Structure 1
């Protein structure tokens, strides 16, 4: 489990905020899902996923809280969470926020960037699934806005961009580059030429951090892990697909007010 010191700590009313970016290790699943696969949307045995989610909360040091995740579709939708739901009732969203103690909000990723946020003074937390499409579409700004509506101050929000596919592993085509170039010429700095002519290497972490800064969040930490290249630690959609597989595991990133 990977953590950032700035996100953990006391909150208002004697509560505490805890978070963790889970690796793929420490679970009960096997095969493609070895071993801490937390995604019900994978082809894994649902009982294994349930057991893995329980273990993840134990790793977090919060075994008694309720975990909720959304049905992620690379949208820009962020929702407040005031009560837990069952996995089969998960709403479509790619950002969750909460000010309710005892409810852990989680994001599932396998190359996309998981982003966890907290305003300790206000007692407000947020989690966003930020692949290129969601980040480009505004999921980070919308998640921050939902936090603000619960009382968070953008200047106080601490954010951490967790493990995702690194620039050295993220090759994209000209059409991808053009989409970001059209959005802003400043985005050109997010790309370096790839070995293949007409292709580029894209820095997702830097783009996500930039969008957070543009939304008013100044305190942003970044992981330097690469989910694609580190097969001993992380699930990777791109790596698995390139190996000819149709399914893949999902890592859980979670934050909670205890």
Structure 2
């Protein structure tokens, strides 16, 4: 997307497959807070990313994400508690979401100066994280939103059990050619945003699959040794 007053970015693993990593440090550009990498290592990576985006490395607000639908209004940086969405009207404050197969959704109304960042894994997506986020952004004055959806696990790789498939509308559940149900998470998120009033031409989705592309971390591909990518959004004055 191209919003003049908005700065946004998404990290990759930046991983050289031949790279040898120190013990207990996940190779690459791990941003996580609950990965085997030491906290000071991932904090340095997060600060480096913000610096490269031209943002203040000390003004990142982020969360202990719990696959829910709770949204916090951020007024200060740091770890702001357990939730899966952040919104703010404050310029220069960066909002961060960590993912490794789930979708990160960044939303902005640059005219009304309100932004949001949301963690939309399958639980949060069907549980209404975006519904709650848009509602709270409207409460802060938001009207005309644009959204960006990060790379996430794609249809071909996202095999689920019947109990998960049952929580999605049938058109997002694919069984033909598969032995078990597969979910089209990104298409579900796009339609969710449209149902919340966003115009399709204001929704920008990166179609790359995190499972299939080694430039991204993937929990399903790498398990507990998976790092995390960081999605960031901030407003400049």
Q: TM-score, normalised by structure 1?
A: 0.83
Instruction: State the partner residue of 1:30.
Output: 21
Q: Give 1:64 deviation, angstroms.
A: 4.9
Structure 2 residues not aligned, in runs of 5+ = none
RMSD: 2.0
Match of 2:232 in 1: 254
- Hey, which bits of structure 1, 4+ residues long, moved more than 6 A? 26-29
Corresponding position: 1:226 with 2:214: no
Structure 1: tracts of 5 or more residues without a match = 10-15, 181-186
SS in 2 for 1:209: helix
Question: How big is each residue's C-alpha offset from its partner over 1:63-91, in whole Å with a ceiling of 9 and x where there is no partner?
Answer: 45500111100111011111223x3xx31
* More helix, by proportion: 1
Offset at residue 189 of structure 1 (A): 1.6
The CA deviation at 1:40 is 1.4
- Count of residues in correspondence between the two structures: 230
Distance 1:120 1:65 in 2: 23
Which of 2, 7, 14 aligns to 1:18? It is: 7
Once the 2 structures are TM-superposed, how far is the Cα of residue 61 of structure 1 from its aligned partner?
Answer: 2.1
* Matched residue SS, 2:123: helix
Matched, 1:119 2:109: yes
Contact map agreement 2:107 2:147 (CA 8 A) in 1? yes
Alignment of 1:55 with 2:48, yes or no, is yes
